Amino acid sequence: MYVELGRPEPPRRRTGVAGFFTRCVGDELNVLLMPADTGESWRLPGGDAQSDEFIHEAYVREIAERTGLSPVPPEEILVVDHVPRGVTEAEGLDVVFKGADFVPYATDPGTTAYRWATLKETDSLCLGPERDRIHSAHEAWLTGRTAYLIWGERVTAPRS
């Protein structure tokens, strides 16, 4: 369609989706994590949307596929992180949704393992941009204000 109108093709863009699932153990907040693709660090559960897939549908599909959990459609966006081209193969947006209540069920052998970690533990378990997304998601969850990041660095100022 773009070529027919005499315009160049639209840029390739990747859309990532993730869930910020939490639970309290004693007085400490825990965050749900899954192994990163490299296997050397951890990240929020999720993955990439498919072509022409709505991001809320991608979220439900990816959470179910990657963790074996049965999530409900998300209601709140906590973080939008713009990932410049070159960091990945294509420019992208990573959207972190507030993980709504879910009912865990037995994971089948095809699902990825997951674990709970305290916010402090995410500092050593997760790489910089993912760690920053997690902390920004936590702040957005507490304040009710969505965070806009560029490769993990905050663009919008936290609410005072």
Check whether 2 has a pLDDT greater than 50.
no
Check whether 109 has a pLDDT greater than 60.
no
Would you state the pLDDT for residue 76?
Answer: 94
Q: Identify the residue with better confidence: 141 or 7.
A: 141
Tell me the pLDDT band of 40, cut-offs 50, 70 and 90: confident
Half-sphere exposure of 113 (CA within 13 A, CB side): 5
How many angstroms separate the CA atoms of 91 and 85, rounded? 4
Q: Identify the residue with better confidence: 118 or 8.
A: 118
Would you state the pLDDT for residue 66?
Answer: 84
Would you state the pLDDT for residue 91?
Answer: 87
Mean pLDDT of the chain: 84
Nearest Cα to Cα of residue 98 among 6, 20, 11? 20
Would you state the pLDDT for residue 32?
Answer: 92
Check whether 156 has a pLDDT greater than 80.
no
Contact 32, 67 (CB under 8 A): yes
Check whether 147 has a pLDDT greater than 90.
yes
Would you state the pLDDT for residue 9?
Answer: 65
DSSP 142: H
The answer to which of 49-58, 95-104, 127-136 has the lowest mean pLDDT is 95-104
Output the pTM of the full model: 0.84
Check whether 125 has a pLDDT greater than 90.
yes
Cα 47 to chain centroid, rounded: 7
